Chain A
Amino acid sequence: DARVTQTPRHKVTEMGQEVTMRCQPILGHNTVFWYRQTMMQGLELLAYFRNRAPLDDSGMPKDRFSAEMPDATLATLKIQPSEPRDSAVYFCASGLGENTEAFFGQGTRLTVV
């Protein structure tokens, strides 16, 4: 049963700490997205990759967020230093590009206190 796997599922951290969220896309998918969901802003696209190359990260606060794909089976989203306003659910999704659907992971619920 192919699925996008995100770890951790939940993370509570103190302000100022580094947070790393990981995503394993579906094998064979060449496009990976990071989204953030909050009540106020809804679902926002933070960054996405195609064939491991970053295509767009304009949705990310550059000073504290970074996204990478060290290999085809792992995408990471880091926040350093974290702030309370970063509290949200972070979703990773993968797909085959073009006009095909993106499959979402279960999300990482981040709480920064």
Chain B
Amino acid sequence: EIVLTQSPATLSLSPGERATLSCRASQSVSSYLAWYQQKPGQAPRLLIYDASNRATGIPARFSGSGSGTDFTLTISSLEPEDFAFYYCQQRSTWPPLFGPGTKVDIK
């Protein structure tokens, strides 16, 4: 079974800074990777699918890249509402699997 690893576990940044989050798969998932944002007490929200495609309504400051085993979610300039948890998810093999998450908090 594929294992997803996310790093760092916590990323402490200030508004306006660039955030770079990593998701690594234990074996290739091709480009079949998504990113979700979750705020406390809320449901997750799909940000990026198939590694680099923004979901409907997602601001352009969110971008995804990578293929195979190494993926990156970049937030070009953090807005106050971006401080949250971020999860990656693969759909390359069954079952769909989420990574453990990265918390982006305010420095």
Q: A and B, one complex?
A: no
